[in-house]
Structures are given as C-alpha cells and as structure tokens.
Amino acid sequence: MSGQNFWGGPTFSPETDYQWRDNLGSIEHDDFPSLSTTPDRITVGEDLSWRTSAGERWLSEQRETVFSAVDVQEQSWQLDFATELTNVSDRTLDFGSPTTHGRPNAGYTGFFWRGPRSWTGCDILGPDGAGGEAMMGTSAPWIALAGQHDGLDGGATIVALAGTSSSSVPLKWFVRSEPFAALAPSPAFDEEITLTPGESLRLQHRYVFVDRICERGDIERIAKGASL
C-alpha cells in the first residue's frame, strides 16, 4: 500500500522480483470496544491501527467478527467478517498487490485463509460446475474448498461467500491448492483501490465451515442458504 508492505515478508517489483526492504508496516490491536453473546451467537468488535515502518498511522480499522449458525445435523458453523478501513493520514493511499505491480496470479489482499499441510491438492469448486485452479482471479459469488485431514480425522469443507466491497473495484478470488491451500476474496487482486484522506473501504465476507467433505449438491445448497 503506497510503498508500505502490510503483508509481511519481502516486497515484489518487476525489476528486482522479491526483495527485503525497510518498508514493513504493522497492524496493531487498539481495543475490543464490544463483545456480545447469546445462546447461538458471539459478536466481537475490534479497533486496530495500521502504521508505517516509521510509525505513522495511516489507517484506522473497525472489525466485527461473528460466530453463529451452529448446526449439529449439518455439522457446520458460520463465520462473518466485516471491516471498515478509514484513511486517517493526510495523503491519498493506494491499495494493491503483487499482481497490480506486475506478478501474475499473486493478487493476495484482504481476508485470507491458509489451509493446513494436509489440504495441499484439495478440491476447489465454484458455481455452475466451475472449479479447479482456473478459479484464480475470477469473480464468483462463492468458492468452496474440500480437503482431507491427517490420519483418521476425515475431511472438511469451507464454503466462502465473496460478500461485498464498497469499492467499485470488483472482488476477485485468490484461490489455489498448490503448493498449499489458500483462499481470499481479494478486494485489489489486479486493480488498485484508492482512498483519499477521510475516505473508507468497507468489506463483508461469510465463511461456512462443515465438518465433512461435501458433494457439489450440498455445497450449492449451503451457499444458497448462507447468501448475504
């Protein structure tokens, strides 16, 4: 983002590939302003600050994470994630990815899930019979991953709904199963998002975790029932 790396690790450029630079920012927890519980729902609010490598505060973030919809018969539960990122600096900020800087299919931004080693090579399924590594960089209302656990623990399925972005830049999926399973509804996959001072970016996503490997018909039913 505007020359700062909030992902961690080396920074990509087409001239030098990945190189370590003195540009690693930080995302700092400030407060848990709210916590509410009911018999079937837990809601956690969190405030965070995004600071540059020099300590300058560029973004304030308000997150809400909701754990709900536990279904014993379905063997599933639901995670909702919503965030609002506000530019509190005195400059325009550009959100991008390695793909916006020239590396194909490396548009990993936003809410990112990385699978365990045992899910390497897992199945990737999308709407209307789509699936596989071809889902990388596509726009789709949902994507599911289904993989085996180690040993005798069976398998599981994640049904991820892309959700919404307040930006005009469309959400696109960063998804793969090799060399490790990964999934993210990326808000800036191959196109930068610009926030002027005081402007906010709002994102909302939903994941359903199922404690078994689901067939396509079950996945499509779960995705339809969980639509935002």
Mean confidence (pLDDT) of the chain: 95
What long-range pairs does 12-20 form, CB within 8 A, spacing at least 24? 12/98, 12/101, 12/102, 12/103, 12/106, 13/101, 13/102, 14/101, 14/102, 14/103
Model pLDDT for residues 28-77, shown as the tens digit of each residue: 999 999 999 999 999 999 999 999 999 999 999 999 999 999 999 999 99
Structurally, the chain folds into a number of domains equal to: 1
Whether 166 maps to a domain, the answer reads: yes
User: Which among 41, 106, 47, 46 is positioned nearest to 77, based on CA atoms?
Assistant: 41
Tell me the C-alpha distance between 183 and 111, whole Å.
Answer: 9
Whether residue 30 lies inside any domain: the answer is no
Asked if the structure places residue 112 within a domain, the reply is yes
Identify whether 119 is part of a domain.
Answer: yes
Whole-angstrom Cα distance, residue 157 to residue 218?
10
Task: Tell me the backbone φ, ψ of residue 127, rounded to 5 degrees.
Answer: -65, 155
In-domain check, residue 145: yes
Q: Does residue 170 lie within any of the structural domains?
A: yes
Does residue 81 sit in helix, strand or coil? strand
- Digit-coded pLDDT (tens) for 2-22: 899 998 889 888 888 888 999
C-alpha–C-alpha distance, residues 188 and 173, integer Å: 10
Q: Sign (positive/negative) of CA torsion 166, 167, 169, 173?
A: negative
Measure Cα distances from 149 to 61, 74, 118, 121, 139 in Å: 34, 19, 6, 12, 28
pTM of the model: 0.92
User: At 222, which helix (H) or strand (E)?
Assistant: helix 216-225
Question: What's the pLDDT score for residue 177?
Answer: 96
Identify the domain containing residue 83 by its residue range: 59-225
- With a cut of 80, say whether residue 152 has pLDDT above it: no
Per the domain annotation, does 12 fall within a domain?
no
Q: What amino acid is encoded at 150 in this protein?
A: D
Domain assignment present for 50:
no
User: pLDDT at position 36, please?
Assistant: 97
Other C-beta atoms lying within 10 Å of the C-beta of residue 216: 14
